């Protein structure tokens, strides 16, 4: 009798591994729909109407980098322009939250996929026949 239980558990584990592979493939497909951080920030800049300011900063940065390279060739010193954020500033929080919410539909889809496959994995343990288990997995 214990042999049958072990064999059953091994089958369930094997079918669970197949489910996990299916889940990972679906999540990978869903993640392809997600926008990159750069794209989300660009959308946020448009929403907050700061695209013009950002463009000017990027132009000035390119100028400074070109001048810095010339200066570096003659002196060995160089200049850099970095973009940082003030996490204490409520405006940064608004901007960042908006940029991150753009991917919310994708995140929700991934959460649903994970939940669906967790339920399938749990239901495998309740199956009485191999056919029922195969039907759940879809093989």
pLDDT value of residue 68:
96
Structure tokens at 91: 């405006």
Structure tokens at 71: 């200066």
**8-28: per-residue pLDDT in tens?**
778 888 899 999 999 999 999
**68-124: per-residue pLDDT in tens?**
999 999 999 999 999 999 989 999 999 999 999 999 999 999 999 999 999 999 888
Average pLDDT over residues 125-131: 80
**36-67: per-residue pLDDT in tens?**
999 999 999 999 999 999 999 999 999 999 99
pLDDT band at 2 (very low <50, low <70, confident <90, very high): very low
**Cβ-proximal residues to 94 (8 Å cutoff; 6+ apart), any chain:** 48
**Cβ-proximal residues to 100 (8 Å cutoff; 6+ apart), any chain:** 40
Are residues 106 and 31 in contact, defined by beta-carbon separation less than 8 angstroms? yes
**Cβ-proximal residues to 96 (8 Å cutoff; 6+ apart), any chain:** 85
Structure tokens at 39: 């794209």
Q: Where are the alpha helices (DSSP H) in 32-103?
A: 37-47, 51-75, 90-101
Structure tokens at 14: 């094997």
Q: Which of 10, 21, 30, 32 is nearest to 120 (CA)?
A: 21
């Amino acid at each position: 009798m214990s042999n049958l239980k072990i064999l059953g558990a091994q089958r369930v584990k094997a079918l669970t591994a197949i489910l996990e592979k299916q889940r990972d493939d679906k999540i990978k497909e869903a993640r392809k729909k997600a926008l990159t951080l750069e794209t989300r920030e660009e959308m946020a800049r448009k929403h907050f109407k700061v695209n013009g300011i950002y463009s000017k900063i990027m132009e000035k940065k390119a100028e400074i980098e070109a001048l810095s390279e010339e200066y570096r060739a003659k002196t060995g010193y160089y200049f850099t322009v970095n973009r940082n954020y003030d996490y204490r500033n409520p405006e940064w929080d608004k901007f960042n939250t908006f940029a991150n919410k753009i991917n919310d539909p994708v995140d929700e889809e991934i959460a649903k996929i994970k939940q669906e496959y967790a339920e399938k994995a749990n239901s495998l343990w309740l199956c009485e026949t191999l056919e029922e288990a195969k039907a759940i997995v879809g093989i």
